[in-house]
Chain A
């Protein structure tokens, strides 16, 4: 069975600084996808970034980038130049084709931005 672990329930960062959120996962499959979702106070789940396991290059979306360490089964999210609008819960999620075609979510990290 797939598992996703986010060991940091809460993180905080000064505005304009950089913060890294950690995620580890476990799957026996070689074909899988990893995602970071953002959930602001509005409750809407917003896809931030995705990574295909077969791609060695780390995904980047503007100020958001990942550090994908396949052998270590680690998938961290780096947010550069943090902004007040980045304050949210961040969920790491794993999809593999043999996991009942579903996303497995971690328990989330609450990110606070300090002005």
Chain B
């Protein structure tokens, strides 16, 4: 049982480049989330989804986009990367929205 998987584990981007962070869960959870964690801070919600085809903004959505075409996948798109997007990104899933299970994270550096 893989749980929540994220790819890549690490990535370095140049300013202005774009990329997609992949997230897949195999627990058939309806809820999925993207968080970012800046150094010394807790997690802040970027976007979330309560089911396939339904997404909504979280606390810090600017500069990001998401889609949810299947229950399993919830990719996060960064357009025109900026140094302020240097962070660790976590994907999570949940059956109820409460108890969330996290992926291993992606460390992104924008130079």
* Residue in chain A with minimal CB distance to B106: A43
- The distance in angstroms between the C-alpha atoms of A44 and B107, with both chains bound, is 12
Main secondary structure of the interface of B (DSSP, over half): strand
Q: A35-B99, A44-B102 are in contact. Are A101 and B41 (CB under 8 A)?
A: no
Interface residues of B, count at CB 8 A: 25
* B42, A101: Cβ atoms closer than 8 Å: no
Confirm or deny: A64 has a beta carbon within 8 angstroms of a beta carbon on chain B: no
Bits for B82-109, please: 1 = Cβ < 8 Å to A, else 0.
0000001010100001111110110100
Residues of B close to A25: CB separation below 8 A: none
* B56, A100: Cβ atoms closer than 8 Å: yes
- The distance in angstroms between the C-alpha atoms of A18 and B88, with both chains bound, is 31
**Could you list which residues of chain B lie within 8 angstroms of chain A, going by C-beta atoms?**
31, 33, 40-45, 48, 50, 56, 58-59, 88, 90, 92, 97-102, 104-105, 107
**Could you list which residues of chain A lie within 8 angstroms of chain B, going by C-beta atoms?**
4, 33, 35, 42-47, 50, 91, 93, 95, 97, 100-103, 105-108
